[in-house]
């Protein structure tokens, strides 16, 4: 098979066939070994486990508060200040005993409504450092409107509701600590007396909920029976508006255990259980993760396919090296040609499309190289004098300018400008043919003296030289030699068009005076015209 296309096609077909066989066999193995995962049961199991833990936690707080509220209502004998003071001491002792037996209590309190007594305010105990409860100065309730349930929620909400209640998270007064609390109103003969309550550290409850972590991106959160968020691991519930927020839309909660919904553009499945305090514990996970059975199977098949493709790629790279290497060489040669470098080696000479392409490319590049050389000779050389022309002079000035702009080391060079005197007179009197002879004689004289310098014809009767290297150090001697040579020619008996009458001017590049190579040329041109005026005197 000499066709490159045939070889590559056959190779790829063989690899695809082998890959399909291997993937099919591996798929059959994984299908037999893969079992259906019961994601809903897993979520429910985690939810029930969290329910038991949180119920124990909440029940202990509720039980303590309800016991205290029952005790204080039974202990109330009257509402005068002396009776209330004695009652408060009894409540303080009993509440302290109950709080010490309750898990996670941060503060506990018994507060009397200011309308009942202005002198007996109640008490407030805190345990911020975990070293035991200490009495804390109570909040001055009289500064607030106790009918406004948005203020002092631990006091105003139980009073307004008239029943024990769990409050949403809030920042507790004076302590600047996020808490949740369970509060119960206290009544005496139908009259509202005050509130008893326990605040528990929000982080303690959060830790219980955060411990439930199904799958990779699943989590648990608390809501009320309507779905309004009470605690969420990714949402600061305390900063939510009064109406709260919902992860699971209220109309989707329903009476069932499992809920499918969309949150932040992602399909999710959740399971919930009612807690003893009326809240709901929700455990949720992305559907993409809970449906891990068949997706896991696809993943395994995909990984197997990738593995096979990697092996196939390695094999293909090794096996087709002999084919791809000439392509790489051809590509590198093309890049060289694009940069103007036609010196490359293409050793491949196979009897196929690539071999023919390589030979054609070599022939084409050789022809282009010849044509470019011819064109360069035509473009940058003067047809009459066979020295470089104005275009070449511009390129030379640009190269000098690049050296100046780099600034690493100032280049050493000088520019000489020449103008052939009386060319118009010779053309007018003897014809342009004699004028051309005059220009050639002048050019050959310049080239003879400045034989190591590039000579340019930059106008009809104007020439320029760029003096560098050894000639730069010997420039004065060369200028003197040029004058002697022209004098010798002009002293011999010859025709006017065979003489050499040339005005000249030389300028040396000075880093302090010249910012550009063009400024050196302009100074040389100016000196040349000064020389022309002196010669006419």
Give the DSSP per-residue string, 363-387: HHHHHHHHHHHHHHHHHHB-TTT-S
Nearest Cα to 195, choosing from 382, 51, 69? 69
Per-residue pLDDT, 264 = 86
Query: What number is the average pLDDT over the span 456-468?
Result: 93
Determine the pLDDT at residue 162: 92
Mean pLDDT of 287-308: 69
Which residue pairs from 205-210 have beta carbons closer than 8 angstroms and sit at least 24 positions apart in sequence?
A: 205/54, 205/57, 205/104, 205/180, 205/231, 206/231, 206/233, 208/50, 208/53, 208/54, 208/57, 209/50, 209/54, 209/233, 209/281
DSSP 8-state class, residue 138: P
Comparing 327-331, 385-389, 446-450, which segment has the lowest mean pLDDT?
Answer: 327-331
Task: Give the residue carrying structure tokens 């702009």.
Answer: 405
Distance CA 53, CA 509 (A): 91
Q: How far apart are CA 500 and CA 491, in angstroms?
A: 10
Q: Does the pLDDT of residue 298 top 90, yes or no? A: no
- Provide the pLDDT confidence category of residue 474 given band limits of 50, 70 and 90: very high
Residue predicted with more confidence, 377 or 85: 85
Nearest to 208 by CA among 198, 221, 224, 199: 221
pLDDT attached to residue 376: 65
For residues 164 and 247, the model is more confident at 164
Per-residue pLDDT band at 246 (split at 50, 70, 90): confident
Q: Is the pLDDT of residue 124 over 90?
A: yes
Three-state secondary structure call for residue 89: helix
Q: State the Cα–Cα distance between residues 463 and 313, nearest whole angstrom.
A: 65
Q: What is the pLDDT of residue 528?
A: 92
Beta bridge partners of residue 505, listed in sequence order: 417
Taking phi first (over 0 means left), then psi (-120 to 50 degrees means alpha), and beta for anything else, what does residue 229 get? beta
pLDDT given for residue 250 in this prediction: 61
pLDDT reading at 134 higher than 80: yes
Structure-model confidence comparison of residues 5 and 385, the more confident one: 385
Q: What is the pLDDT of residue 448?
A: 92
Lowest mean pLDDT among 45-49, 51-55, 174-178: 174-178
Mean pLDDT of the chain: 83
Q: Are 141 and 190 in contact (CB under 8 A)?
A: no
Is the pLDDT at 1 greater than 60, yes or no?
no
pLDDT band at 147 (very low <50, low <70, confident <90, very high): confident
Q: Looking at the DSSP assignment, which residues form a beta bridge with residue 171?
A: 178
List C-alpha distances in Å: 411 to 84, 472, 478, 511, 516: 104, 11, 20, 9, 11
Whether the per-residue pLDDT at 193 is higher than 80: the answer is yes
189 phi-psi bin (left φ>0, alpha ψ -120 to 50, beta other): left
CA distance 398 to 406: 12
Is the pLDDT assigned to residue 34 strictly greater than 70?
no
pLDDT at 232: 87
Q: Report the range out of 198-207, 223-232, 262-271, 339-348 with the highest average pLDDT.
A: 262-271
Q: Which of 151-165, 211-225, 372-386 has the lowest mean pLDDT?
A: 372-386
pLDDT at 447: 93
* Contact call for residues 413 and 475 (beta carbons, < 8 A): no
How many CB atoms lie under 10 A from the CB of residue 157?
A: 19
Q: Which residue has the higher pLDDT, 86 or 295?
A: 86
Angle made by CA atoms 393, 394, 399, in degrees to the nearest 5: 95
In this prediction, residue 338 carries a pLDDT of 75
Instruction: Summarize the chain as % helix, strand, coil (round to 5).
Output: 50, 20, 30
- Quote the percentage of the chain above a pLDDT of 70: 86
> Is residue 414 scored above 80 in pLDDT?
yes
Q: Per the structure block, which two tokens stand in for 350? A: 């196979």
Sign, CA dihedral 253-230-209-96, equals negative
Alpha-carbon gap, residue 497 to 516, rounded angstroms = 37
Of the two residues 298 and 493, the one the predictor is more confident about is 493
Q: Binning pLDDT at 50, 70 and 90, where does residue 310 land?
A: confident
Count of beta carbons in the 10 Å neighbourhood of residue 377: 11
What pLDDT is stored for residue 327 in this prediction? 72
Quick one: pLDDT band at residue 139, thresholds 50, 70, 90?
A: confident
Strands 414-420 and 388-389 come out as unpaired
Residue 25's Cβ-count burial label (10 Å; 0-12, 13-18, 19+) is exposed
Task: Please state, in angstroms and rounded to a whole number, the distance separating the CA atoms of residues 253 and 257.
Answer: 9
Residues 6+ apart with CB under 8 A from 25: none
Q: Which residue has the higher pLDDT, 46 or 183?
A: 183
Contact present, 461 and 439 (Cβ < 8 Å): yes
280 phi and psi, to 5 degrees? -120, 130
The confidence score (pLDDT) of residue 224 equals 78
Q: In this model, does residue 370 exceed pLDDT 80?
A: no
CB 360 within 8 A of CB 367: no
The answer on pLDDT for 237 being more than 80 is no
């Amino acid at each position: 098979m000499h066709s490159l296309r045939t070889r590559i096609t056959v190779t790829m077909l063989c690899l695809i066939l082998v890959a399909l066989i291997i993937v099919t066999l591996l798929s059959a193995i994984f299908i037999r070994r893969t079992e259906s995962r019961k994601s809903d049961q897993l979520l429910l199991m985690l939810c029930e486990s969290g329910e038991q833990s949180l119920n124990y936690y909440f029940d202990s707080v509720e039980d303590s508060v309800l016991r205290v509220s029952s005790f204080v209502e039974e202990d109330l004998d009257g509402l005068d200040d002396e009776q209330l003071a004695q009652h408060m001491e009894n409540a303080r002792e009993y509440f302290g005993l109950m709080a010490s037996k309750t898990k996670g209590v941060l503060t506990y309190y018994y507060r009397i409504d200011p309308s009942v007594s202005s002198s007996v305010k109640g008490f407030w105990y805190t345990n911020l450092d975990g070293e035991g409860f200490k009495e804390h100065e109570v909040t001055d309730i009289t500064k607030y409107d106790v009918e406004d349930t948005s203020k002092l929620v631990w006091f105003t909400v139980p009073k307004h509701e008239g029943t024990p209640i769990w409050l949403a998270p809030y920042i507790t007064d004076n302590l600047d600590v996020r808490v949740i609390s369970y509060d119960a109103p206290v009544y005496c003969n139908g009259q509202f007396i005050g509130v008893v309550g326990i605040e528990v550290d929000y982080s303690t409850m959060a830790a219980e909920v955060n411990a439930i972590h199904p799958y990779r991106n699943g989590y648990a959160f608390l809501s009320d029976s309507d779905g309004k968020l009470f605690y969420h691991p990714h949402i600061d519930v305390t900063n939510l508006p009064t109406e709260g927020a919902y992860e699971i839309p209220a109309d989707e909660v329903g009476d069932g255990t499992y809920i499918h919904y969309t949150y932040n553009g992602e399909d999710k499945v959740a399971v919930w259980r009612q807690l003893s305090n009326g809240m709901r514990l929700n455990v949720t996970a992305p559907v993409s993760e809970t449906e891990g059975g068949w997706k896991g199977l696809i993943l395994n098949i995909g990984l197997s396919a990738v593995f096979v493709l990697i092996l196939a790629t390695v094999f293909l790279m090794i096996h087709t090296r002999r084919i791809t290497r000439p392509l790489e060489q051809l590509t590198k040669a093309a890049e060289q040609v694009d940069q103007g470098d036609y010196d490359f080696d293409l050793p491949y000479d196979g009897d196929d499309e690539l071999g023919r392409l390589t030979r054609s490319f070599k022939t084409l590049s050789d022809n282009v190289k010849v044509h470019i050389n011819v064109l360069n000779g035509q473009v940058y050389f003067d047809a009459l004098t066979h020295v470089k022309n104005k275009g070449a002079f511009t390129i030379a000035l640009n190269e000098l300018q690049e050296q100046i702009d780099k600034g690493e080391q100032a280049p050493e060079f000088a520019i000489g400008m020449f103008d052939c005197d009386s060319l118009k007179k010779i053309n007018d009197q003897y014809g342009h043919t004699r004028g051309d002879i005059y220009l050639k004689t002048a050019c050959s004289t310049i080239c003879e003296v400045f034989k190591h310098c590039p000579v340019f014809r930059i106008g009809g009767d104007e020439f320029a030289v760029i003096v560098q290297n050894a000639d730069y150090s010997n420039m004065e001697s060369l200028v003197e030699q040029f004058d002697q040579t022209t004098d010798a020619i002009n002293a011999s008996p010859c025709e006017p068009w065979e003489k050499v009458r040339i005005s000249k001017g030389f300028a040396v590049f000075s880093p302090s005076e010249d910012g550009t190579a063009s400024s050196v040329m302009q100074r040389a041109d100016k000196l040349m015209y000064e020389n022309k005026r002196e010669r006419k005197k």
